[in-house]
């Protein structure tokens, strides 16, 4: 088990990486404001019952600060038109319909930067001081078709009610009426992730509510951070530092998040969660004899590693990163002195390691005891977290529930 100082240092790292509550509140105001705009009487989409909500790392509580002041926060959101279906319009028509409203919103809000079109979304660029942009993905409900697909393949229907389809300008049927749209289910994924956090999340939310003399229902989820969320934040920054000059190869966040959540076993401390995740996360990668499969828990027919066969360097990069993370954090686990804690991870964590160390008190030699104290000759002997020595062979698919 790691030293007490290693645990404290990892907690400080997570605190340094965390986005401030004001940033979360700013993001909430932004997509709420857009939602109100789409519901105004003159809106071209008001009759389709538009729903705007955040998705991705901001929804999961795993967003981290950018590496530098030049980078922006990427706030991913969905614009779901609930009273339309793929039988009513093409992807291109939906993209234009939503895009026109977003452009009108930008003009009404006196936003300086023009709206940009992305592959699947529209990008609202906020003022420079805001340091974030919002990606708005046009989407339609897809629950009925998703249930049919999952039933056909024998998968659990648990998350199908929130399934949707999204626009994609690279789709071969982008300009045609078709049911063959890109599937998505951010609400289902977020609910699955919340379940993976287990009762740790609910316990922490209850404690926070009591400390604020408020009801649990009035505490926003973003005010609560669990060991799973903290561990993912740390692993994402380690990934960012390691692949700063190899951006296209870096393991994507959804793969790290999914495997980490599957490997998490309800640990109460960040260090315990991190080392459990590092030891087990690759065991949740399946293999069908030809390719690796990392299933989307909310849509097990989607493979988050589907680009690996065409880009084998990305598969190699994932296992390279995992090996390095095990090495770096394995070294960190044994350290007591502040300097050595920082040196263990600074090569890939960067300046955040130095900032985290400031939160620790001054090193006092043997007075700093490890979390599981095993004293020998006045020095603390700490067991090193055990990681597999070789790359774990993915298993064959066994279904998903």
Residue boundaries of the structural domains of the chain:
4-16+225-380, 20-184
| % pLDDT > 90, the chain | 67
- pLDDT per residue over 53-85, tens digit each? 988 998 999 999 887 766 778 889 999 999 999
Q: What fold does the segment set 4-16+225-380 form as a domain?
A: Poly(a)-polymerase, middle domain (1.10.1410)
* pTM of the predicted structure, to 2 decimals: 0.90
pLDDT value, residue 130:
59
pLDDT at 374 over 50: no
CB contact at 8 A, 342 and 353: yes
CB contact at 8 A, 163 and 183: yes
CA distances from 5 to 60, 231, 291, 356 (A): 28, 16, 41, 12
Mean pLDDT of the chain: 88
Tokens of residue 64, six digits: 């981290």
Average pLDDT in the 262-278 region? 96
Strand 116-117 to 164-166 pairing = unpaired
pLDDT value, residue 366:
36
CB contact at 8 A, 191 and 184: no
Length of the chain, in residues: 401
- pLDDT per residue over 85-133, tens digit each? 999 999 999 999 999 999 999 999 998 889 999 999 999 988 656 567 8
20-184 — its CATH code?
3.30.460.10
Tokens 């067991």, residue located = 383
Rounded CA separation 284/258 (Å)? 9
CB contact at 8 A, 368 and 4: yes
When pLDDT is cut at 50, 70 and 90, the band that residue 369 belongs to is very low
- The CB-side HSE value for 252 (13 A sphere, CA atoms) comes to 16
Tokens of residue 156, six digits: 């659990």
Rounded CA separation 101/37 (Å)? 8
Q: Give CA 107 to chain center in angstroms.
A: 31
Check residue 199 and report its DSSP letter.
H
């Amino acid at each position: 088990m790691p030293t007490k100082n290693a645990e404290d240092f990892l907690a400080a790292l997570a605190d340094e990486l965390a986005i401030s509550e004001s940033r979360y509140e700013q993001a909430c105001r932004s997509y709420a404001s857009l939602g109100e705009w789409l519901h105004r009487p003159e809106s071209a989409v008001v009759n389709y019952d538009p729903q705007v909500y955040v998705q991705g790392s901001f929804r999961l509580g795993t967003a981290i600060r950018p590496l530098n002041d030049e980078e922006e926060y990427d706030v991913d959101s969905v614009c779901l038109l609930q009273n339309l279906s793929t039988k009513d319009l093409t992807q291109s028509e939906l993209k234009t319909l939503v895009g026109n409203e977003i452009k009108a919103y930008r003009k009404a809000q006196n936003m300086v930067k023009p709206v940009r079109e992305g592959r699947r979304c529209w990008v609202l660029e906020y003022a420079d001081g805001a340091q974030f942009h919002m990606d708005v993905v046009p989407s339609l409900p897809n629950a009925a078709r998703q249930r049919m697909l999952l039933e056909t393949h024998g998968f659990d229907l648990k998350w199908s009610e929130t399934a949707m389809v999204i626009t994609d300008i690279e789709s071969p049927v982008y300009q045609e009426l078709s049911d063959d749209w890109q599937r998505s289910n951010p609400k289902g994924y977020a609910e699955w992730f919340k379940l993976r956090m287990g009762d740790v999340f609910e316990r922490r939310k209850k404690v926070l509510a009591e400390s604020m003399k408020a009801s649990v229902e009035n505490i926003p989820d973003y005010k609560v951070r669990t060991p799973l969320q903290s561990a993912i934040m740390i692993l994402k920054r380690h990934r960012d530092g390691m692949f700063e000059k190899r951006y296209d190869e870096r393991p994507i966040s959804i793969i790290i998040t999914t495997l980490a959540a599957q490997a998490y076993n309800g640990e109460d401390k960040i260090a315990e969660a991190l080392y459990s995740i590092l030891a087990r996360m690759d065991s949740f990668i399946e293999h069908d004899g030809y390719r690796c499969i990392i299933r989307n828990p909310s849509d097990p027919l989607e493979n988050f590693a589907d680009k690996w066969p065409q880009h084998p360097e990305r598969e190699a990069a994932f296992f390279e990163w995992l090996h390095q993370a095990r090495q770096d954090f394995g070294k960190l686990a044994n350290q007591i002195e502040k300097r050595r804690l920082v040196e263990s991870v600074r090569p890939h964590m960067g300046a955040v390691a130095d900032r985290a160390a400031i939160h620790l008190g001054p090193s006092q030699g043997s007075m700093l005891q490890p979390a599981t104290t095993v004293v020998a000759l006045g020095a603390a002997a700490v067991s090193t977290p055990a990681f597999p020595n070789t790359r774990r062979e993915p298993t064959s698919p066994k279904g998903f529930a």
